[in-house]
Structure 1
Amino acid sequence: MAVERVKDSFKDTDVNVIELPESSATVALAAQALNTEPDQIAKTLSFLVDDAPILDVMAGEASTDNHKYKATFHKKAKMIPVDQVEDYIGGVCPFAVKPGVKVYLDESLKRHTEVYPAAGSSNSAVRLTIPALEKYSDYTAWVDVTKTA
């Protein structure tokens, strides 16, 4: 189970995995369950770039801007089918991912001092500052591939 791998990755830190009694599978559900604004949910989207999986972590109310994405990755955005995410990545959260999976943090996250990324299940999250997200996600780079409504 991915949440157990995430918990294990945080075992020697002061980060606590929050396990919720209700679903946090969508931005709206996560914001409600965590009693925070939807934009503070750090949603993680999975894509294939040249058949290699990547994760893009962005603010909850942001969406992928196809033009910016293509300018950054030199490929059209191609999401990994839901039923294949576990095989490619190990779960859709930016922690404890399979070796070789690159994690990108989107500039939209910088609007906040703290964000809530998922922690390996549809009812878990962690509360992190942006510097802590950088540290624990082992991110590759900051990118600007989103637009806001």
Structure 2
Amino acid sequence: MAIEKVREFFRSRGIEDRVLEFETSSATVELAAQAVGCEPERIAKTLSFHVGDRVALIVAAGDARIDNPKFKVQFATKAKMLKADEAEKLIGHAVGGVCPFAVNDCCDVYLDESLRRFDMVYPACGSANSAIGLTPEELERYAAPAAWIDVCKLPATQA
């Protein structure tokens, strides 16, 4: 199971005890926020896109949306999300549990600037009922992103 890969990943870094598992689903931003007990925008969702022969995993705030023109400038291609049935094979995690930890070698992780406004964010941990609380600095340390990028837009009230 993918959550076991993520647990092992965090075990080797001494923070396995911070992984949260819920009795209920945390597969969407709204469900994850309810399970964690935080605002939906603090959920660090991982979006997956085809970029050439690689997969770009973009971790963004729960209220952020991909800005297609920014995406095209950053990656020189249109934003094309992976299909649900491609996720587990290409990333190593199924939809609902996609996260930037313990992913397959064909994946490049990027952290979106929308996350920097929070002191704590909650990405999934490989299953549809898990999360971990991390500061943006910890997220950067453990996700080992290729870069911080700005490819999202926020709701008008948050911009």
TM-score scaled by length of structure 2:
0.91
> How far apart, in 2, do the equivalents of 1:116 and 1:63 lie?
17
2:129 is aligned to 123
1:87 is aligned to 89
Across the two proteins, how many residue pairs are aligned to each other?
149
The amino acid that maps onto 2:4 is E
Residue 100 of structure 1 and its aligned partner are, at CA, apart by 3.4
2:90, 2:106 within 8 Å by CA — same for their partners in 1? no
1:45 is aligned to 47
Secondary structure of the corresponding residue to residue 128 of structure 2 = coil
Runs of 4+ in 1 over 3 A off after TM superposition: none
Residue 54 of structure 1 and its aligned partner are, at CA, apart by 1.3
Q: Which runs of 5+ in 1 are unaligned?
A: none
The amino acid that maps onto 1:120 is G
The amino acid that maps onto 1:68 is K
> How far apart, in 1, do the equivalents of 2:15 and 2:30 lie?
27
Q: Which runs of 5+ in 2 are unaligned?
A: none
> How far apart, in 1, do the equivalents of 2:134 and 2:54 lie?
27
TM-score scaled by length of structure 1:
0.97
CA RMSD between the two structures: 0.8
Deviation digits for residues 113-141 of structure 1, max 9, x if unmatched? 11000000000000001111001111110
2:146 is aligned to 140
Residue 101 of structure 1 and its aligned partner are, at CA, apart by 1.1
The amino acid that maps onto 2:146 is T
> How far apart, in 2, do the equivalents of 1:140 and 1:128 lie?
18
The 5 Å alignment of 1:61-72 reads 61-72=63-74
2:15 is aligned to 14
> How far apart, in 2, do the equivalents of 1:129 and 1:74 lie?
30
The amino acid that maps onto 2:25 is S
The amino acid that maps onto 2:15 is D
> How far apart, in 1, do the equivalents of 2:74 and 2:116 lie?
18
Alignment match of 2:111 (pick from 94, 105, 125): 105
> How far apart, in 2, do the equivalents of 1:17 and 1:143 lie?
26
